Structure 1
Amino acid sequence: MFSLPNNVTIIEVGPRDGLQNEKNQVSTETKLEFIHSLQDAGIQEMEITSFVSPKWVPQMADSSQIVQLSSKKGRQIVLTPNEKGIERALEVGADSLAVFVGVSNTFNLKNINKSTEQSMQDLKPVITKLKEQGIFIRACISTAFYCPYEGKINEADTIALCKEFASWGVDELSVADTIGMANPVESYQLFSKLAELLPNVLMTAHFHDTRKMGLANIFAALQAGITRFDTSAGGLGGCPFAPGATGNVATEDVVNMLHTMNIETGIDLNQLCKAVSIIDPHVSRPIDTGMYRLFAINHS
């Protein structure tokens, strides 16, 4: 018999990870309406924006306004790629920060122009200081399974990076199949080991749906004991520094799967699809996830 949890926490990443690679410039007002509608659906944890250079990710140029104007419901996480981004985020009142490092050295160099080792050396004193200030720290582990440049990643390297972050006292690890090439066996194997080795850290699985295995990988991770998942409303997403990466696994499809298995999320599926309908007209590719398609037909 399958071993499944009674409850799962969804961390919505659509407003940040979902929109960062969007070609159409989405207005601040639309982003805020999207965020607030997701909150109304019952989302308690969300990546709302990123304090990156507007030169490289122009979609995130309004990060300060998003933090200041969004309703403070639940945990609102902002991505901060460097010390300058951290300073800017703290200045506008952010109290939950995400940092990221790629297990793949090549990916890390192309992403932030630093080796994985250098990134970790730079982050350690910063994270130590932030934890002393009581800031919630989410460490995002990119290319945990495969890299677009290096291919398959050694599982031991991913585990070692996670253990190092955990030793610094980070609150959460978001372990990502950045280009969506992992399969359910690999998902189960890695997350089983991480759950056993790091029981005191919030462990979150982050899957992209490039090969349409996102739901299967989530099911495998559930059986490995994982109860936290990053998902993106509408299946939005992609990484500007990861060729071939498509959208994240869709929040509405994940919530539907979990609910049909009698796993509670605290999320109203109908309201969630309403939130997707807010962002749908503003993105460059049509949103065609399973549950949203059914919602659109029923409300046409």
Structure 2
Amino acid sequence: MALPTQVKLIDVGPRDGLQNEKQPVPASAKIELVHRLQDAGLREIEVTSFVSPKWVPQMADNAEVMAGLRRRPGVRYSVLVPNMKGFEAALASKPDEIVVFGAASEAFSQKNINCSIAESIERFAPVVQAARAAGIAVRGAMSCTVGCPYEGDIPPSRVEYLAGLMKGIGVERVDVADTIGVGTPRKVQAAFEATLRHFGIDQVSGHFHDTYGQAVANTLAALEMGVWHHQSSVAGLGGCPYAKGATGNVATEDVVFMLQGMGIDTGIDLDKLIDAGKFISDHLGRKPNSRAATALLNKRAG
């Protein structure tokens, strides 16, 4: 068991967490959230996505949000792009990294974007090439790496196939994502083993949804393999559109609480992080979806 001594968290709350909110969240609130996250010590933040506002209306203010950021040296600001048009729109905002995506499930790929896994990655090849030529880093989000809403269990061989395709078009690092939150520790480790045939330990990150309450356990399972990049969402923001009423991403506060308890350095101030989560939760009119935040806020109030 080679536990890392430090972990770098990528907070995806401003993008992945807010994109499915039904009520519009003003750009000012999104900008404030990013500022609070960087003040808490986050060094990687997924800010927005440059997708068609017809498909994701919540992200229509992408350029405004990026323009409003007080950028801090040493912080990486990433954006998701679906195609070349999205990349060209994102370019003016000067992101440090773009995120492209693909699924380890053929059924998921066909239902979502009407093409095979191989075709979906091939479409991203010119985007990756253009980004790297412009000096912008490229991350690949690999969805459905352990389970799919249409196919059920996903064998590790499909994950290895997807990772190989991403490596082939020049993606520099990848997220191993349990999109619907059905993963359990051994399955998650198998997905990482498959990915590590194409990418080094420094080029992989975990992205776990908490639909069945397994996300913290799955984070620990990845840590035991030495995985030290992890994605999470402040206040547990985000739902899972494929599992009714399910929670979304693992809460950053819960991951930080666990890591601090294990003596693993994150560089994050938990109190400031909880304040950031409370800020956006108050704005959305609900309580933070984080057990650690709930417990520590109750303690403060007491």
Q: TM-score range by the shorter chain?
A: over 0.9
The alpha-carbon deviation at position 205 of structure 1 amounts to 0.8
Q: Look up the SS of the partner of 2:196 in the other structure.
A: helix
**Contact 2:11–2:44 (Cα < 8 Å) also in 1:** yes
- In structure 2, do the counterparts of structure 1 residues 53 and 119 end up closer, same or farther at CA, with 3 Å as the change threshold? same
Does residue 294 in structure 1 map to residue 295 in structure 2? Answer: yes
Residue equivalent to 1:6: 5
- In structure 2, do the counterparts of structure 1 residues 181 and 14 end up closer, same or farther at CA, with 3 Å as the change threshold? same
**Contact 1:24–1:284 (Cα < 8 Å) also in 2:** no
Residue equivalent to 1:41: 40
Q: Look up the SS of the partner of 1:220 in the other structure.
A: helix
The alpha-carbon deviation at position 179 of structure 1 amounts to 0.1
Matched residue type, 1:207: F
- In structure 2, do the counterparts of structure 1 residues 193 and 166 end up closer, same or farther at CA, with 3 Å as the change threshold? same
Residue equivalent to 2:259: 258
Matched residue type, 2:68: L
Matched residue type, 2:272: Q
Q: Look up the SS of the partner of 1:144 in the other structure.
A: coil
The 4+ residue runs of structure 1 with deviation greater than 6 A are none
CA distance in 1, matches of 2:201, 2:177: 19
CA distance in 2, matches of 1:201, 1:103: 21
CA distance in 1, matches of 2:96, 2:189: 32
**Contact 1:195–1:224 (Cα < 8 Å) also in 2:** no
What percentage of residue pairs aligned between the two structures are identical?
43
Residue equivalent to 2:205: 204
Q: Deviations over 1:161-218 (max 9, x none)?
A: 1122123332220110000001001112222343354227610110000000101001
Residue equivalent to 1:139: 140
Residue equivalent to 1:170: 171
Residue equivalent to 1:72: 71
The alpha-carbon deviation at position 257 of structure 1 amounts to 0.1
Q: Look up the SS of the partner of 1:256 in the other structure.
A: helix
Deviates further, 228-237 or 83-92 = 83-92
Matched residue type, 1:95: D
Matched residue type, 1:208: H
Using structure 1 for the length normalisation, give the TM-score. 0.94
CA distance in 2, matches of 1:277, 1:33: 12
Matched residue type, 1:222: L
Map 1:82-161; keep pairs closer than 5 Å.
82-161=83-162
The alpha-carbon deviation at position 246 of structure 1 amounts to 2.8
The alpha-carbon deviation at position 31 of structure 1 amounts to 0.9
**Contact 2:251–2:289 (Cα < 8 Å) also in 1:** no
The alpha-carbon deviation at position 285 of structure 1 amounts to 4.9
CA distance in 1, matches of 2:231, 2:285: 22
Matched residue type, 2:115: K
Higher RCO by CA contacts (8 Å cutoff, separation 6 or greater): 1
Q: Look up the SS of the partner of 2:183 in the other structure.
A: coil
- In structure 2, do the counterparts of structure 1 residues 212 and 200 end up closer, same or farther at CA, with 3 Å as the change threshold? closer
CA distance in 2, matches of 1:283, 1:81: 27
- In structure 2, do the counterparts of structure 1 residues 201 and 136 end up closer, same or farther at CA, with 3 Å as the change threshold? same
Matched residue type, 2:144: T
Aligned residues: 298
CA distance in 2, matches of 1:53, 1:185: 37
Deviates further, 225-234 or 194-203 = 194-203
Q: CA RMSD in A?
A: 1.7
Q: Look up the SS of the partner of 2:230 in the other structure.
A: strand
The alpha-carbon deviation at position 140 of structure 1 amounts to 0.4
Residue segments in structure 1 that go unaligned for 5+ positions in a row: none
- In structure 2, do the counterparts of structure 1 residues 208 and 200 end up closer, same or farther at CA, with 3 Å as the change threshold? closer
Using structure 2 for the length normalisation, give the TM-score. 0.93
Deviates further, 230-239 or 268-277 = 230-239
